[in-house]
Amino acid sequence: MTFLEVLYFIVPAAILYATPLIFTGIGAVFSERAGVIALGVEGLMVIGAFVGVYVNLEYFDVFGENVYWLALFAAAIAGMIFSLIMAVAAVTFRADQTVTGVAINMLALAVTVFSVKMLYNKGQTDMIAAPITRFDVPVLSDIPFIGPLLFQNVYIVSIIALAVAIAAWFVIYKTPFGLRLRAVGEHPLAADTMGINVGRMRYIGVMISGFLAGIGGAVIAHTVSSDFSASTISGQGFIAIAAMIFGKWHPLGTLGAALFFGLAQTLSIGGNTIPYIQDIPQVFLQILPYVLTIFALAGFIGKAVGPKAGGQPYIKGKR
């Protein structure tokens, strides 16, 4: 393989693997910026993947090839509804957010596998008939070098993910809503004093994370796995959290980190065919995102510090 061929192989694959991480990571940013630890996004992705596959399988006859739009939308709504459990426990019932996240992950996996067995009498679903297909962006894909690198064989969801990241940056940093969201995560007492409804903002933050993580899960099911089983989502939610931390809780930072972790995943999966990369033991590429995250938190690569009030329930009248 020539160097150029290697690039044309790696970059689109990295973007593909990064896409669900971007959706979920951005979702996690919204939740954590509001002060609710986003450990449950792994489970919300599981819900999204399952609902997406279910809708795709059941409504393919009605909507044909374009059924995946409905599937993605249903997955987003399902993720949002499921995240309400998280919000109710963590915000209203003042439960420990880490424990709640772990429980949500467990509950999501159990509910979906239970449903698959109930609906289909087997451990995994059939392959979906209408996965998301690749396409060439008109005009742009004819540009030499950049065309084949970025604009040929792309998934529409990758472009949407990019748009979501930019929109998230705008919403969080340039709108009154974003300011309130950040205030609630940094200093809820001060925010409350200024008349911001802390509980409501946190509910919204968590629900946005559910919406986006649902899409993230469905994207994996619609591009990489094409079916749903207990192992469809295996740690991508946590890599998304890692991307959020590595991106220092900033939407564009998260976007960059997600792309980088997507690259690491691509190399660990397809690296054995690429010169030079194949000499690196696979395990190093597999653990790269996790180890880098620890380094980032330890301050070796610029200190990553989360929202100040993350993980603490807000109790009115308590100092």
Partner 1 sequence: MSNRLVNILVPIISIIIGLAVGAIVMLVSGYDPVAGYSALWQGIFGDAYSIGNSIRQITPYILAGLAVAFAFRTGLFNIGVEGQLLMGWLAAAWVGTAFELPRLIHLPLALLAAAAAGAFWAFLVGYLKAQFNVHEVISSIMLNYTALFVTNSIIKNITDGGFKTETVPPSATLRWQWLRDITDNSSMHLGIIVALAMVLVMWFILEKTTRGYELKSVGFNQNAAEYAGMSVKKNIILAMTISGVFAGLAGAMEALGTYQNASIKAGFSGIGFDGIAVALLGANTPLGVLFGAALFGSLKYGALNMPNASGIPEEIVSIIIALIILLVASGYVIRVFLEKMSKKKEAK
Q: Which positions touch partner 1 (CB under 8 A)?
A: 37, 39, 85, 89, 93-96, 98-100, 102-107, 109-111, 113-114, 117-118, 231, 234-235, 238, 241-242, 245, 281-283, 286-287, 290-291, 293-294, 297-299, 306
- Report the C-alpha dihedral over residues 92, 93, 95, 97, rounded to 10 degrees: -20
Give the position of tokens 């919300």.
44
> Nearer to partner 1 by C-beta: 58 or 136?
58
| Longest distance between any two alpha carbons in the chain, whole Å | 66
Helix H or strand E encompassing 134: strand 134-135
SS3 155: strand
> Nearer to partner 1 by C-beta: 91 or 259?
91
Smallest gap from residue 311 Cβ to partner 1 (A): 9
Give the Å distances, CA to CA, from 136 to 68, 158, 317: 18, 13, 57
> Nearer to partner 1 by C-beta: 1 or 294?
294
Smallest gap from residue 5 Cβ to partner 1 (A): 28
Smallest gap from residue 88 Cβ to partner 1 (A): 8
> Nearer to partner 1 by C-beta: 22 or 103?
103
Q: How far apart are CA 258 and CA 233, in angstroms?
A: 16
- Report the C-alpha dihedral over residues 252, 256, 259, 263, rounded to 10 degrees: -170
> Nearer to partner 1 by C-beta: 18 or 245?
245
Q: How far apart are CA 14 and CA 9, in angstroms?
A: 9
Smallest gap from residue 142 Cβ to partner 1 (A): 41
CA 51 to the chain's CA centroid: 16
Smallest gap from residue 108 Cβ to partner 1 (A): 8
